[in-house]
Amino acid sequence: MPWNQFQERTERTSWSSVFEDSEDPFTSSNETLISLDEEYSTSAEVRKLSSREQRCKRWQQNNDLLLLEPFKEKLQRIVEREDNWDGKGSKKPRPMAISKAHVTLESFLYSVVNSGRIWKTPFVSSDEDGRITIQWNKGDHELHIEITDEGAEYIKVWGVNIEREMHLGILKGKEFLNLWDWLNL
């Protein structure tokens, strides 16, 4: 199934994102862009962006979309999987998990790029239970994210000892930059 058909099908399905508090990074061309003056404040002041700022923001959004292309290609291959895709009885990923993976990674990309940090394209696959797996490696640090219909978890790995060199947690939107900074230490 082509990505645009899959995207149309999953956009009709609503779900609660772990990024409910994120602003929508896309706007139409006749819409006025706004900016939050304080990134994490619940009482952040909103201001209209100047025409120049709007052009810059749209340019950045277009470039961000280019950064998403490798991920979309990988996700397209995962969408096409059937049960037993690996010959070992693994389940195909469910459409909701794939949709959540797309929204989650897109939110991550925007938070990383908009903060001035450098984005690194992750390894993307699915596991035997049909979860979408996303992984980044840098040196002895690994960051794994598993996405299901119900939500997302992360695993930080910095060695082989499960008790002292790994940490598992529920993924929440605002903590991703902290995880990204840990990965890039």
Summarize the confidence of residues 165-179 as an average pLDDT. 89
Query: What is the C-alpha radius of gyration for the chain, rounded to an integer number of angstroms?
Result: 18
Among 59, 47, 128, 120, which Cα is nearest to 87's? Answer: 128
Task: Name the band, by pLDDT with cuts 50, 70 and 90, for residue 76.
Answer: confident
Q: How many CB atoms lie within 10 A of CB 74?
A: 18
> Could you tell me the maximum CA-CA distance found in the chain, to the nearest angstrom?
56
The answer on pLDDT for 43 being more than 60 is no
- 138 beta partners: 141
Q: Where are the domains of the chain?
A: 3-183
Question: To the nearest whole percent, how much of the chain has pLDDT over 90?
Answer: 30
Q: 1, exposed or middle or buried, with CB in 10 Å at 0-12, 13-18, 19+?
A: exposed
The answer on pLDDT for 116 being more than 70 is yes
| DSSP letter, residue 175 | G
CB 123 within 8 A of CB 146: no
**Helices 51-79, 3-11: crossing angle, 10 deg rounding:** 100
Record the pTM: 0.64
Q: Measured between alpha carbons, how far is 91 from 153 in angstroms, rounded to an integer?
A: 19
Per-residue exposure over 7-29, b if at least 16 CB sit within 10 Å of its own CB, e if not: beebeeeeeebbbeeeeebeeee
